[in-house]
Structure 1
């Protein structure tokens, strides 16, 4: 039995959740994949995969073996690529889970040009605001707003965005400009719905070192941060959002800031990855690029008025 080939097959099965999809990605038949996995489990003397009619998932032992396989195969691929030369070292798949608003407003506009300079890297970008399952989803690193999801993760801080309150100039011309948070009760407001709970996100303000959360009545609620800003730019009302999401509208004049003296800091943007994870050159290069773009975007957003 080719141990490395079996390990690669096992990793693909866990990542795809399917014998068929894993087999197709490795140009083999499903029956061949099933036979190889049976031989691998027999050689190891342990059951690695739990099969149901709908999906395939690793057992407890399989989860541990998956982590080992990913680390060993990643290190092997990195060494082989390094021996082939520096250009070829930046080659292979990198799977990233990124906060949805960060991906859409910061990463996606810059990604095509970067990939053109690194044609050997294949980025799989998963847009998600939930907790990242690094093992089951095969994620190399994640980008999140907030703290550590788990104590076994390394956190690389990128910067702290500001919460800003915005509306279109036309709306403010017609409805007036709020001078303090209590004035919002007389305005049309656009709430943000939290994806998991469906509850409205609090509006946060700070003055003289004291932070307050308010839940003023709104006329519309949406579960997408960019949609909230688009509604504000179209004149639907006032919205509170993160500075880098509002920055394009502030620059082109479709948005204007209000209540600037009550702006607050949002939780920090960070890159997360497992503490014991080997980082191949391709992963490190992608991580450095994404982190640099986010830092630059936060700095630029701080200047947008």
Structure 2
């Protein structure tokens, strides 16, 4: 039995909660993963994992063993990196996840420069706006925006992004240009008047978790408004949201860097420009329980360089 490999396999199963996820993330055949765990339990004379048809859980003995195993694995990784750092480039694969518009407009165009700097380090880039389980899906780090609720993660702030409220000239020509955020919402008729004034169409963005559209947010001086409006089109992916605005689906809010070329070309126009929205913080996030490897460290430093020109702070 390769005890070190068995330790790593057991730790990954404990983190992901599944033999199959551990096998896929480590690129090891599933039967091999099963055998390594069986051999390790036989060697120790203790049951580390409780397996059912639906899930895998860690036994009390397994929990104690996992805590010491992860410390040992981290120490071994540190030893390896210390011995090779001076003479070798980081190598292997790094799995990263990033939102669509950030990937297509910022990260992917810069990737050839990263590859030239680190030719032995290959990047697997997951492009989506959905929340994910970093440990369960074997992801080394993610780039995510907004306030971070998960305190078990380590977050490195890489930029703050400005928002723009905008719409296409075609839409504004047909529906008019609002002068106040409340004009985006349909107004109730005045007393004795049966006429309901329609609001503007909203090209919205909805949460992949809840399915609800996020409100538009406006600030001016002491005023702070959250406007839900009527999302006639709502998407849950940032590049598609930009496409909806360009197509004239309605008024929406998106990142300034993403719409800058379309504003310059006249394909979109800003509206309610005297109203702002609080900047959107971007973080590089990785699990606090995971050893920060050399490959993650160099990628994090490079990401900070790449996003620096887009930082609106």
Instruction: Determine if contact 1:71/1:277 at 8 Å carries over to the other structure.
Output: no
Q: C-alpha distance in 2, partners of 1:29/1:216? A: 50
2:192 matched to which residue of 1?
A: none
Correspondence 1:292 to 2:305: yes
Q: Which residues in structure 2 correspond to 1:41-120 (within 5 Å)?
A: 41-53=41-53, 62=62, 69=69, 72-73=72-73, 75-77=75-77, 79-84=79-84, 86=86, 88-120=88-120
1:242 matched to which residue of 2?
A: 255
Instruction: Rate the CA distance shift 1:136–1:29 in 2: closer, same or farther, 3 A.
Output: closer
Correspondence 1:232 to 2:245: yes
Mean Cα displacement is larger for which, 21-30 or 121-130?
Answer: 21-30
Instruction: Rate the CA distance shift 1:226–1:65 in 2: closer, same or farther, 3 A.
Output: farther
Out of 184, 202, 226, the position equivalent to 2:215 is 202
Looking at secondary structure, tell me which structure has more helix per residue. 1
Q: Which residues in structure 2 correspond to 1:98-247 (within 5 Å)?
A: 98-127=98-127, 129=129, 132-185=132-185, 186-247=199-260
Mean Cα displacement is larger for which, 64-73 or 159-168?
Answer: 64-73
Shift of 1:262: 0.7
Q: C-alpha distance in 2, partners of 1:114/1:68? A: 35
Mean Cα displacement is larger for which, 162-171 or 257-266?
Answer: 162-171
Q: C-alpha distance in 1, partners of 2:224/2:245? A: 24
Q: C-alpha distance in 1, partners of 2:201/2:142? A: 36
The structure with the largest alpha-carbon Rg is 2
Q: C-alpha distance in 1, partners of 2:253/2:210? A: 19
Instruction: Determine if contact 2:96/2:123 at 8 Å carries over to the other structure.
Output: yes
Q: C-alpha distance in 2, partners of 1:137/1:250? A: 38
Mean Cα displacement is larger for which, 62-71 or 185-194?
Answer: 62-71
TM-score, scaled to structure 2: 0.78
Shift of 1:202: 0.7
Give the secondary-structure state (helix, strand or coil) at the position aligned to 1:261: coil
Unaligned 5+ segments in structure 1 are none
Instruction: Determine if contact 1:190/1:221 at 8 Å carries over to the other structure.
Output: yes
Q: C-alpha distance in 2, partners of 1:21/1:56? A: 12
Instruction: Determine if contact 2:135/2:287 at 8 Å carries over to the other structure.
Output: no
Mean Cα displacement is larger for which, 17-26 or 98-107?
Answer: 17-26
Instruction: Rate the CA distance shift 1:238–1:278 in 2: closer, same or farther, 3 A.
Output: same
Deviation by residue 1:145-177 (Cα, 9 ceiling, x = unmatched): 223333333332223222221112333344433
1:279 matched to which residue of 2?
A: 292
Shift of 1:233: 0.9
2:196 matched to which residue of 1?
A: none
Instruction: Rate the CA distance shift 1:234–1:283 in 2: closer, same or farther, 3 A.
Output: same
2:275 matched to which residue of 1?
A: 262
1:18 matched to which residue of 2?
A: 19
Shift of 1:41: 2.0
Shift of 1:230: 0.7
Equivalent residue pairs, number: 299
Mean Cα displacement is larger for which, 119-128 or 67-76?
Answer: 67-76
Shift of 1:227: 1.3
Shift of 1:84: 3.7
Ranges of 4+ aligned residues in structure 1 off by more than 6 Å: none
Q: C-alpha distance in 2, partners of 1:22/1:210? A: 53
Q: C-alpha distance in 1, partners of 2:100/2:279? A: 16
Deviation by residue 1:222-272 (Cα, 9 ceiling, x = unmatched): 222321211111222221123343334334442222111112114422223
Q: C-alpha distance in 2, partners of 1:261/1:107? A: 31
Give the secondary-structure state (helix, strand or coil) at the position aligned to 1:201: coil
TM-score, scaled to structure 1: 0.79
